[in-house]
Amino acid sequence: MDWEIIGYAAAALTMFGFIPQLVKMLRTKSVDDVSLVMMVQMGLGVFLWMIYGLHLKNSPLIVANVVSLTTLVLGLFVYFRYTTRRYFR
């Protein structure tokens, strides 16, 4: 089995995993069903994976997590733009 293929598949799924949610938030202009805690937790996890990749000097790990972190940060901007929760207004 070629483990590198599995690594690239995992990286691709992680990199683009949040994009459908981001598109839905932009299309509906609603974030009522989106968990802020999940987004922050995922962002912190991805950030730590990126730091780990930098330590290992592993380019695929770094790139995958930079892209993932970028989509999550965009998601947070959209979240705060469209939230109807009173404590964020």
- The domain over range 3-88 is classified in CATH as 1.20.120.450: no
pLDDT at 89 over 70: no
For 62, phi and psi rounded to 5 degrees? -65, -50
DSSP calls for the chain: --HHHHHHHHHHHHHHSSHHHHHHHHHHT--TT--HHHHHHHHHHHHHHHHHHHHHT-HHHHHHHHHHHHHHHHHHHHHHHH---GGG-
Confidence at residue 88, expressed as pLDDT on a 0 to 100 scale:
61
Confidence at residue 80, expressed as pLDDT on a 0 to 100 scale:
92
Could you tell me the residue ranges of all domains in the chain? 3-88
pLDDT at 6 over 80: yes
Give the tens place of pLDDT for each residue, 22-80.
999 999 999 988 999 999 999 999 999 999 999 999 888 899 999 999 999 999 999 99
